[in-house]
Amino acid sequence: MKYPFLLTLLSLPLLACTPVEQTPVLVKTASSNNLLPRFSNADKMKIGKKIWQNESGGSVAGLTHWNEGEEFPSMGIGHFIWYPKGFNGRWTETFPLFINYAKAAGNKDIPAWVLSAKDCPWNSRAQFNADKNGPRLTELRKFLASTVTLQTDFILSRSSAALPKILAAAPAQERARIRDNYAKVASTPNGAYALIDYVNFKGDGTNPTERYNNQGWGMLQVLSNMRPSSGGQDSARAFADSAKAMLERRIKNSPQARGESRWRAGWNNRCETYARPL
C-alpha cells in the first residue's frame, strides 16, 4: 500500500447502531490508472465510512433518503441515485450501476424486489417517506449497511476509471496539465481521498447532460481549473479551492427553482476536508 498510515488516519466513529460488515464480498478491480494508491480491504472500509459520514452522518437511516426538492431518492453510503419511472434526469443514475456491480461480485443478499425493479418504485418524495419504515426500505437499508466495503469498491472502481475518460474528453492541449494535476493531488493521503470522493460526489465531468449553461462541475472541470501548484498539500488545497469554485459556478448557473444555494455551505464544508491532512 502506498500510504501505510492511511488506515489510522481515516478512522471515523459511526453511530453505535451501525451494523458491522462481517464477511464483505469484495471485487478485485484492476486500476484503470496507476496514480491512485492501492488500498487494503481495511482501508476501503475506513474510506467507505468516511464517505458515508459525508453523505448522511454515518446513519443507517440515511442509507435510503430522498432530498427535498429532488426528483429521486439516494441510496447507500455514496447516495447512489435511482430514478422513478418516467423521469430522465441530467445526472448519471448510479444505484442501478451499483446493483449490477454487486451482482457481478456474486453477492446473494440483494433484495429480490430490487433485482426485479426496473425503476425506483416510489414516484414521489411523499410516497417514499410514507414507506420509510416499510419492509422494502428496511430490507434495503439492512443490505446496504452490510455491504460498506462492496460499495466502497464500486466507488473506487468509478474513480479509478474516471481519469482515462477525463483525458479522452479534455482538449488535447490540456491533457498533460490535467494528468499532472491529478498526479499531484494523488500524492497525499487526503488528496487521494479527494479524488475518490469527488467522483462519487459530483461525477467525472464527462457526461454532457451534467451541465448548466453548458458548464459542468465534475472532476474534469475541477482539474482543468486548478491553479498551478507545487504538489503535496499545496495541490490538495488547489483542488479543494477549484472544487468549491466549480460548485459555486454550478449554483449560479442552476435554475432558480431548484434552490441550489441551500447546499452551498454543506458542499463547501465537504470540499474543505480535501485540503486538511487526514
Q: pLDDT per residue over 75-93, tens digit each?
A: 999 999 999 999 988 888 9
Q: How far apart are CA 92 and CA 71, in angstroms?
A: 13
pTM comes to 0.78
The amino acid at 21: E
The pLDDT, as a whole number, for residue 59 is: 95
Q: Grid coordinates representing 147?
A: 455491504
The pLDDT, as a whole number, for residue 35 is: 85
Q: Pairing mode, if any, of strands 64-65 and 80-81?
A: unpaired
SS3 17: coil
The pLDDT, as a whole number, for residue 277 is: 80
Q: In the sheet that 64-65 helps form, which strands lie side by side, from edge to edge?
A: 64-65, 74-75, 80-81
The pLDDT, as a whole number, for residue 190 is: 87
The pLDDT, as a whole number, for residue 15 is: 35
Which residues are 84's β-sheet partners?
120
Q: How far apart are CA 69 and CA 228, in angstroms?
A: 37
Tally the residues of the chain: 278
Residue pLDDT, tens place only, 25-64: 333 333 456 788 877 777 788 788 889 998 889 999 999 9
Question: Which segments of the chain have a pLDDT < 70?
Answer: 1-33
Q: Grid coordinates representing 49?
A: 465510512
